[in-house]
C-alpha cells in the first residue's frame, strides 16, 4: 500500500509504503528509504511497533540520530574526512568533529528516493533508487544505487546494489533502532544478544578503528553465547569508555551462519539477522539523550533502542588490511541482509 506521508520544507512529496507478511507489517518512506515502523507479535499475539520512529515527517527531517534511515555512501566513520584513490585525495564532509560519519551532512538518509512497488510470489516489497552525483559530500563518481525491502512472511530481505562511473568507495547499511519490548521496558539492556564473531575492530577516542583486529576472548565484547546487553556495558574497559557503551564493529565468522540473534526476555520476541557483509556494527543507543520525542510522545533516552548495522569495516579506505570498499566502473556493489522476526 502506498500513501502520502507529507511534504519536505522545499515542497517535495514523501510517500509511505506498507508491506504485509505473516503477522508482520513494515512501513518505509521515500525520504531516506527510511523504515518508519516494524510491527511484530509477541508470545501472546499482541502486535506492536518494535522500531523507534516518529509521528511526523518533520520530526525525521530534524533529527540527527539516523533513526530508520538507509545509510550511504559510506556507513560509519572515515577518519580525517578524506579518502585517497589512485593518488588523488578527496576531501569529504567532516560532520563529526574532524571525521566523516554516515555519508556526511546530507547522506542517503536525507534524500528523497524514487519507489517502485513489488509483489513477487505473494511477497510485498519496494525498491528505492537514486543517483548520488559526483561530488556529493565529496565522493567521486556518479553512483546509481538501489535498496530493496521485501517482506516474505516474517522475514524482511534488504538488498543493496550500486554501480559507479568512476572509482569510489561504497559501504551501505540500514540504521533502524530496535526495541523488541515495543516500549514496554524503559530500555533494551535486558535484551539477550548473541553475535557470531570471535573478533572485533577496536577504536580510538574518536571511534575511528586503530587498524587492529582483536579477539573478544575474556572481554565484554564476547557475545558468542547469549548475554544481557547491559550485563557488561559498564565494565572498566577502555573500548567501552571510548564508545560510551557498545558502538563497535564485529568481524563476522561465517556469512553462511546467522550473524546475530536478539531476544527480549519479557515479550519473547526474537530478531535473527543474517548478512553477506563482513562486519556488523552493534550500537547500544549510547547517544540518545531524551531530546528526541518519538511515537506516542515517548522520549528516546540512552539505550532506548539498539542498532545492528551490517557493513564493511569503518574507515576501511585507511586500512588496506580490511576487506576493500572500493568500487570501480564495470563492477557492481551488492550486499544482502535478512531480518527474521519470531517468538520464543
Domains of the chain, CATH where assigned: 2-343 (2.70.98.10)
Q: What is the pLDDT at residue 339? A: 98
Q: What is the pLDDT at residue 256? A: 84
Burial of 168 (0-12, 13-18, 19+ CB in 10 A): buried
Helix (H, G, I), strand (E, B) or coil at 40: strand
CA 179 to centroid of chain Cα atoms: 14
Q: What is the pLDDT at residue 255? A: 82
Q: What is the pLDDT at residue 117? A: 98
Q: What is the pLDDT at residue 224? A: 98
Taking the C-alpha atoms of residue 179 and residue 209, their distance in angstroms, rounded to an integer, is: 27
| Edge-to-edge strand ranges of the sheet holding 247-251 | 214-215, 199-201, 247-251, 279-283, 307-311
pTM over 0.95: yes
Q: Which residues contact 9 (CB under 8 A, 6 or more apart)?
A: 61
Q: What is the pLDDT at residue 139? A: 98
Q: What is the pLDDT at residue 142? A: 98
Name the residues annotated as catalytic. Answer: 175, 309
Query: Do 160 and 147 contact (CB within 8 A), yes or no?
Result: yes
Q: What is the pLDDT at residue 114? A: 98
Residues of the chain with pLDDT under 50: none
Full DSSP string of 163-209: EESS-EE-B-EE-PPB-TTTTSSS-STT-EEEE--SEEE-B-TTS-B
Amino acid at each position: 500500500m502506498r500513501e502520502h506521508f507529507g511534504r519536505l520544507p522545499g515542497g517535495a512529496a514523501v510517500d509511505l509504503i506498507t508491506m504485509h507478511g505473516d503477522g508482520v507489517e513494515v512501513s518505509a518512506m521515500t525520504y531516506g528509504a527510511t523504515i518508519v515502523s516494524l510491527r511484530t507479535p509477541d508470545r501472546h499475539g499482541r502486535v506492536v511497533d518494535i522500531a523507534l520512529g516518529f509521528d511526523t515527517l518533520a520530526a525525521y527531517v530534524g533529527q540527527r540520530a539516523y533513526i530508520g534511515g538507509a545509510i550511504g555512501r559510506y556507513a560509519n566513520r572515515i577518519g580525517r574526512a578524506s579518502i585517497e584513490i589512485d593518488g588523488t585525495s578527496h576531501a569529504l564532509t567532516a560532520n563529526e568533529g574532524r571525521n566523516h560519519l554516515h555519508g556526511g551532512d546530507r547522506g542517503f538518509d536525507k534524500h528523497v528516493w524514487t519507489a517502485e512497488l513489488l509483489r513477487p510470489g505473494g511477497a510485498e516489497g519496494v525498491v528505492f533508487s537514486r543517483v548520488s552525483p559526483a561530488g556529493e559530500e565529496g565522493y567521486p563518481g556518479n553512483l546509481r544505487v538501489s535498496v530493496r525491502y521485501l517482506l516474505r512472511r516474517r522475514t524482511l530481505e534488504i538488498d543493496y546494489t550500486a554501480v559507479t562511473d568512476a572509482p569510489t568507495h561504497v559501504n551501505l547499511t540500514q540504521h533502524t533502532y530496535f526495541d523488541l519490548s515495543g516500549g514496554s521496558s524503559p530500555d533494551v539492556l535486558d535484551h539477550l544478544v548473541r553475535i557470531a564473531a570471535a573478533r572485533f575492530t577496536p577504536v580510538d577516542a574518536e571511534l575511528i578503528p586503530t587498524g587492529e583486529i582483536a579477539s573478544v576472548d575474556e572481554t565484554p565484547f564476547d557475545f558468542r553465547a547469549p548475554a544481557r546487553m547491559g550485563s557488561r556495558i559498564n565494565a572498566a574497559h577502555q573500548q567501552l569508555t571510548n564508545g560510551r557503551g557498545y558502538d563497535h564493529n564485529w568481524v563476522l565468522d561465517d556469512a553462511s551462519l546467522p550473524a546475530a540473534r536478539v531476544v527480549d526476555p519479557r515479550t519473547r520476541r526474537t530478531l535473527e539477522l543474517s548478512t553477506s557483509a563482513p562486519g556488523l556494527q552493534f550500537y547500544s543507543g549510547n547517544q540518545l539523550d531524551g531530546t528526541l520525542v518519538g511515537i506516542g510522545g515517548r522520549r528516546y533516552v540512552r539505550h532506548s533502542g539498539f542498532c545492528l548495522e551490517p557493513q564493511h569495516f569503518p574507515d576501511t579506505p585507511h586500512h588496506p588490511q580490511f576487506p576493500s570498499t572500493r568500487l570501480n566502473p564495470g563492477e557492481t556493489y551488492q550486499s544482502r541482509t535478512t531480518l527474521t522476526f519470531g517468538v520464543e
